């Protein structure tokens, strides 16, 4: 069996992409793109490396995910050059850490083996925290209102946690660690909400603080959907901090400041600016064409881990009444680029359609993700491993 991929031949088969389904390839097209015989393609399918789907017009044929084919080509390229594999590991490359907290595979996000979208149908953030932390469900304490703070939701959350640093200890464990975790999420929530929060489930308290009781269930779902996402940039920052023995509060602050970046959680602000741009132009098709003509990507659309669309966005948008112009925009972007909305777009649409405060999308991201950060900080501290990669000479 010939399982060798001819890397020199991969670009000449671009024309084989099915026009009605650009993300799917026929068996012949997939085999030629890989540079192998069909038998080798079928072997990749049997090993779970390539997804095969029924052909809509031929019950005897199958179609193959182009993203899986391309990923397999890249995997073989990196394996052929170990030094290249190591150098690219920090750029959507090979896995570098083992975790039992969450995983992304075949278009699904799971929290400790449970599908995150299914969990979000009914669970609260408190229940998601119990699952991720493997502790009893927290109440996030009384969520004391911090002093009036300026800046973005991230700035306010960092300032609120920084005020707690004198009381934090290194190496907290058991009950004290659980109390620190509860308090940390509560402080972040109170800080980013911009005002005092009442008791009860956090999503209800946020909806009340923002004078949007009708948004409570959408907020609940959003918080659960963003609670964790494998080894993203902010989570990696948290794990690096925790690996040094830093306190849980220090580690969470590392996650917050990383989340602020415009190509991470701060992407919600870029999405909001784009929606404003669409509103000024008045025509979604024209706004998308103008972006692409300038060589600029449409922010918030497409995700490298979800070639068939972000399931978190799909789940959240299905529960939010969309305005006609929003539906038109989503259709325009998909028609022009083939890309579907990510969770960043869904969070901004939630913010706008329920008239939440500006940057509520980023606030929800920070609150929900803090639960995952805490789980990762705990797991990393338990491992006792210092994260210390090496650098290559430039």
The set of residues, in sequence order, having a beta carbon less than 8 Å from that of 176 and lying 6+ positions away, is 169
Which of 303, 310, 359, 376 is an active site residue?
A: 303
Chain centre distance of CA 42: 31
Active site residue 344: yes
Residue 190 CB-density burial (10 A; 0-12 exposed, 13-18 middle, 19+ buried) = buried
Positive or negative, the Cα torsion across 27, 29, 30, 32? positive
Q: How far apart are the first and last CA of the chain?
A: 40
Long-range own/partner contacts, residues 31-36 (CB < 8 A, 24 or more apart): 33/9, 33/69, 33/73, 34/5, 34/6, 34/10, 34/69, 34/72, 34/73, 35/4, 35/5, 35/6, 35/7, 35/9, 35/10, 36/2, 36/3, 36/4, 36/5, 36/6
Which of 203, 344, 359, 376 is an active site residue?
A: 344
Residue 172 CB-density burial (10 A; 0-12 exposed, 13-18 middle, 19+ buried) = middle
Q: How many residues does the chain have?
A: 394
**Distance between CA atoms of 231 and 252, rounded to whole angstroms?**
15
> Which among 20, 17, 90, 64 has a CA at the least distance from the CA of 390?
90
Active site residue 183: no
Positive or negative, the Cα torsion across 213, 344, 151, 129? positive
CA distances from 152 to 109, 349, 355, 366 (A): 28, 19, 18, 11
Positive or negative, the Cα torsion across 348, 333, 120, 375? negative
The strand pairing partners of 105, in sequence order, are 108
Residues annotated as catalytic are 303, 344
């Amino acid at each position: 069996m010939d399982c060798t991929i001819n890397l020199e031949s991969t670009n000449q088969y671009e024309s084989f992409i099915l026009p009605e389904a650009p993300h799917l390839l026929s068996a012949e097209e997939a085999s030629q793109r890989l540079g192998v015989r069909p038998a080798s393609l079928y072997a990749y399918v049997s090993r779970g490396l390539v997804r095969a789907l029924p052909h809509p017009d031929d019950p005897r044929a199958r179609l193959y995910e182009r993203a899986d084919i391309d990923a397999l080509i890249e995997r073989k390229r990196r394996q052929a050059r170990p030094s290249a594999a190591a150098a690219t590991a920090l750029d959507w490359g090979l896995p570098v850490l083992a975790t039992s907290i969450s995983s992304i595979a075949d278009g699904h996000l799971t929290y400790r083996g449970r599908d995150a979208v299914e969990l979000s149908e009914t669970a609260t953030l408190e229940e998601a925290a119990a699952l991720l932390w493997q502790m009893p469900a927290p109440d996030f304490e009384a969520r004391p209102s911090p002093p009036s703070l300026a800046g973005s939701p991230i700035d306010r959350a960092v300032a609120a946690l920084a005020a707690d640093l004198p009381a934090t200890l290194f190496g907290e464990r058991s009950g004290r660690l659980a109390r620190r975790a509860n308090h940390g999420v509560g402080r972040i929530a109170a800080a980013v909400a911009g005002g005092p929060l009442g008791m009860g489930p956090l999503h209800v308290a946020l909806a009340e603080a923002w004078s949007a009781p009708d948004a409570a269930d959408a907020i609940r779902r959003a918080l659960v959907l963003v609670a964790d996402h494998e080894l993203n940039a902010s989570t990696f920052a948290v794990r690096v901090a925790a690996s040094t023995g830093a306190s849980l509060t220090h580690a969470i602050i590392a996650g917050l400041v990383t989340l602020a970046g415009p190509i991470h959680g701060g992407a919600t602000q870029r999405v909001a600016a784009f929606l404003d741009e669409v509103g000024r132009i008045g025509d979604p098709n024209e706004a998308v064409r103008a972006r692409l003509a300038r060589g600029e990507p449409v922010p918030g659309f497409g995700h490298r881990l979800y070639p068939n669309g972000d399931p978190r966005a799909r789940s959240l948008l299905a529960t939010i009444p969309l305005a006609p112009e929003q539906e038109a925009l989503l259709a325009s972007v998909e028609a022009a680029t083939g890309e579907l909305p990510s969770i960043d777009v869904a969070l901004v649409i939630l913010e706008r359609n329920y008239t939440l405060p500006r940057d509520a999308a980023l606030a929800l991201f920070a609150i929900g993700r803090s639960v995952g950060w805490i789980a990762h900080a705990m797991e990393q501290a338990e491992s006792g491993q210092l994260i210390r990669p090496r650098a290559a000479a430039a």
